[in-house]
Amino acid sequence: MPDLDVVRLLTAKRDGARLDPDAIAALVRAYTDGDVPDYQMAAFLMAAFIRGMDETESAAYTRAMLYSGEVLDLSDVEGTKVDKHSTGGVGDKVSLLLAPLVAACGVPVPMISGRGLGHTGGTLDKLEAIPGFRTDLGVEAYRQQLADIGVVMIGQTAEIAPADKKLYALRDVTGTVESIPLIAASIMSKKLAEGIDALVLDVKAGRGAFMKSTTEARRLAEALVGIGQEFGKPTVALLTRMDAPLGRAVGNGPETAEAIRALHSVDPLGGEIDDLMEVTLALAGEMVHLGGGATSVQHGRQLAEAAVRDGFAWGVMREMVEAQGGDVSVMDDPDALHGAPVATVEAPDAASAGFVTEIDAFEVGLAAVALGAGRAKKEDDVDPKAGYVLLKKPGEAVAPGEPLAHVYASHADQANPERLAAAFSFGESAPAASGMVLDRLDAAGWRSRSASGAGEPAAA
Residue of 58, 186, 189, 352 marked active site: 186
Burial of 420 (0-12, 13-18, 19+ CB in 10 A): buried
Is residue 109 a contact partner of residue 83, using CB atoms and an 8 Å limit?
yes
Q: Which of 29, 63, 85, 264 is catalytic?
A: 85
Distances (CA, A) of 241 to 92, 202, 278, 435: 11, 10, 11, 8
Helices (H) and strands (E) in the chain, counts: 16, 15
List 164, 197, 202, 275, catalytic entry: 164
- Closest to 142 (Cα-Cα) out of 131, 158, 164, 121: 158
**Among 13, 165, 190, 392, which one carries the catalytic annotation?**
190
* Amino acid letter for position 365: G
Give which of 264, 288, 247 is closest to 108, Cα–Cα: 288
Rg (CA), the chain: 22
Is 213 a residue of the active site?
no
Query: Tell me, what amino acid is at 412?
Result: A
Beta strands 403-408 and 343-346, pairing class: antiparallel
Residues in CB range of 199: below 8 A, 6 or more apart:
82, 83, 84, 85, 191, 228, 233, 234, 235, 236
Per-residue exposure over 426-445, b if at least 16 CB sit within 10 Å of its own CB, e if not: beeeeeeeeebbbbbbbeee
- For 54, 105, 142, 283, 307, the CA distances from 310, given in Å and listed in that order, are 47, 12, 27, 19, 6
165 is a catalytic site residue: no
Our answer to whether residue 190 is catalytic in this structure is yes
Verify whether residue 186 is a known catalytic residue: yes
Query: Which is catalytic among the residues 29, 84, 166, 171?
Result: 171
Report d(CA 180, CA 272) in Å as an integer: 35
Task: Give 328's DSSP letter.
Answer: G
Total residue length of the chain = 460
Read off the DSSP letter of residue 130: S
In angstroms, the Cα distances linking 383 to 70, 143, 397, 416 are 33, 31, 32, 15
Q: Which residues pair with 148 in a beta bridge?
A: none
Which amino acids are annotated catalytic? 85, 164, 171, 186, 190
